[in-house]
Amino acid sequence: MTALGLLAGSLLLGSCGGSKDAFTQSGGASYYADKFNGRKTASGTTYRPNKLTAAHNTLPFGTVVRVTNPRNKRSVKVTVTDRGPHAKGRVIDLSRKAARKIDIVDAGVAPVRLKVVRAAKR
């Protein structure tokens, strides 16, 4: 193998480097309507608008995600307790409290960035 090939290979491995690359995602966020208060979520817990919870289509229940509003740099940590959103372009549905913390309640739908900060316990 040439020196250039070895260098390229080590750079590729270094970028993966066995590090725990956190899951990140960007897209739209919305929040639960008040009519869902008290209803069971897909995880079996009860939805409460005053808790810091969220719905995501693929992340395991119990995963903690930092959701950041890139427009104002505010962020909030939420726990995935439900499945959704079920609308194209949206990546997460937030509880009302979480949506308020990052100031997206008036927008209805707003761009966000997600980063897993703690994987679900197995």
Domain ranges of the chain: 24-118
Mean pLDDT by 10 residues, the chain (122 residues): 35 37 91 94 97 97 98 98 94 97 95 96 78
Residue 66, burial from CB neighbour count under 10 angstroms (0-12, 13-18, 19+): middle
pTM over 0.75: yes
- What is the structure's pLDDT at 20? 52
Q: List the CATH code of the domain at 24-118.
A: 2.40.40.10
- What is the structure's pLDDT at 22? 80
